[in-house]
A and B are shown apart, each in its own frame.
Chain A
């Protein structure tokens, strides 16, 4: 390593220490696993029947708390009046469908659940790796590791992870698993399997993107020219087609970089900072000490090492006053 390279490396380390943002990897767009699966939700086909909600509930019945423990009595799944209120997922339901009344057209329904990011911010934020990304696509959770810091909830740009706040003994994070256990046995995710309108399509993410693009090109009057999830937060396994701008459906503009990249290199830059800083401060400390000891000795007192040491560290008031 020549001198210039060393200097640029060390200065990079100092900059990195101040701002971990600067040390993101070179590639900008996340590619993800080529065979990762996902789901495409076409809201022009969705009628808001809530079959997906019912399916999710029954498929996950073992994990979701029993209905008796519900705080707010949930209306039965065939009752569509709840669509009018803006609901979100929580510890007792992993998916909800909301209705959005857009002026001059019939209402649009939007399904909400974990988007299963290609580079999930939640997994990057988790300090025990309780959340992790699988090559197959789903972002999964190991409840036995969770400390309950809820940093994943801070990190998720889509506000997905939910917490069981009223549980004192074993409070956990709850979110959609894309029905990973069912996928493993060759079944469809619960919600997809029960959608009567084919508004939900399951498949490889790359295939779903193709289908979505085809639909936009074939009937451009039906869709806005945007596949939500293609680039959002670095890309997600769930993709959405909509007849109206996605922001009207409470789908936030989150940028195309994965948030995980802002801090994923933090430990490396911290280590580098620690190395540089300890050398610098150590040198200042050592040299300053020697200089002060020399000064004390030439000051005439002929102090022994030990005494000079004490003088310096135990508050010598000679030159101060």
Chain B
């Protein structure tokens, strides 16, 4: 950007971006007001037959799946000792923390009486419910993630002793975090186990918990790659040279891990479909959609990852990461909105209202703003100058 012309364009783009964010925030605030004065029905298309819609699919299922990068990267680094993940550990943990935090905020919109959200913990425990386990894990994991991010926070405020203590907790926290996150991801998959008669057999499976866990692993790792690319492009002032330099190694490691999990997922899914005697459905419209999800959303990016890692093509890995994230988003929508209630007449099926989508966009915008705010203040994408000597 040397000429004045491009500078002017950049400024224009900047103003446009700002304007867009302001519009998203204003619409979001307006709809929030509507939601809490007119009830859930005022902003959603939910009905007695379709009690969970876009918010469940996007905010809950997709949001938590892509947040899995936090525990995937932290486990790879702290538990399994893969050092190439180091540059992405804090970034992934921050994403996970924000993902879970905004999931709780989304729940405030989603449930009818959010002020009672503490009831399952303190008042009356429905221990037979998959949702109880989900809630328990969200609360636990949010606490663990805060602990895992303490070192960064203490660095920001110059608390050397406190930081040293927090750093010592990193490995144990990574172990507990991995355990809770594994259970949480699979428990999301078990949410729909209770409705076998309402789910399309291509998606309903006793292995749904395993599928959700595996797919969250590659979704999370891919999200780390996507987000790393975005951060180095748009948050350049929050990063340092080391992070940009080491990112390629971390990206390649994420790609390796993701493709491994994707091949495993693909194979298990194929065997499960055949073993469940569900091949007959593949010729239907649902079957075509299922094949698109599995072929385009899993097999294709898995191969792209494989080639990208083998031939050291970061561009290909980035592309694979984007497709993988979209593929997992498609999967979560398919499970919760397409496969669920598949046998209802089309007039009784659910389609989201624009307001549901707008509120989700509002929350994503808040999340991005929060991420940017944290990264500019706290050493997430860079090394704090006081602790550079530790890296040598």
Listed in ascending order, the chain A residues whose CB lies under 8 Å from chain B are 17-22, 88-90, 121, 124-130, 145-151, 153-155, 157, 159, 161-168, 170-172, 233, 252-255, 259-260, 262-267, 270, 273-274, 277-278, 281-282, 284-285, 288-289, 292, 309-310, 312-317, 319-320
Contact = CB atoms under 8 A, between A and B. Distances in A.
Interface string B159-190: 00000000110110011101110110011001
A264 B127 CA distance: 8
A191 B38 CA distance: 33
18 contacts: A19-B210, A124-B194, A125-B128, A148-B113, A151-B131, A153-B48, A154-B52, A157-B197, A163-B51, A168-B37, A171-B40, A233-B197, A262-B194, A266-B133, A266-B190, A267-B133, A270-B133, A285-B78
Contacts of B387: 314
A200 B387 CA distance: 78
A189 B193 CA distance: 33
A58 to B, nearest CB: 23
A127 B390 contact: no
Interface string B90-120: 0000000000000000000011111011011
B277 interface: no
Contacts of B168: 309
B35 to A, nearest CB: 8
B175 A282 contact: yes
B75 A281 contact: yes
Contacts of A19: 206-207, 209-210
A278 B198 contact: no
A114 B80 CA distance: 52
B109 to A, nearest CB: 11
A274 B391 contact: no
A288 B79 contact: yes
Contacts of B83: 315-317, 319-320
A161 to B, nearest CB: 8
Nearest to B341: A159
The 8 closest A-B CB pairs, nearest first, are A148-B112, A165-B41, A150-B51, A153-B51, A21-B206, A171-B112, A127-B132, A315-B86
Given A148-B113, A153-B51, A292 B81 contact: yes
B194 A281 contact: no
B129 interface: yes
Contacts of B183: 17, 270, 273-274, 277
A10 B113 CA distance: 40
Given A124-B194, A309-B168, 9 more contacts: A125-B128, A146-B113, A147-B112, A147-B117, A150-B111, A159-B48, A159-B49, A164-B39, A266-B190
Contacts of B343: 252
A280 to B, nearest CB: 9
A121 B206 contact: no
B354 interface: no
Nearest to B86: A315
Nearest to B214: A18
B336 to A, nearest CB: 9
A171 B48 CA distance: 13
A74 B180 CA distance: 50
Interface in B186-230: 186-187, 190-198, 206-207, 209-210, 213
Contacts of A20: 130, 190, 193, 209
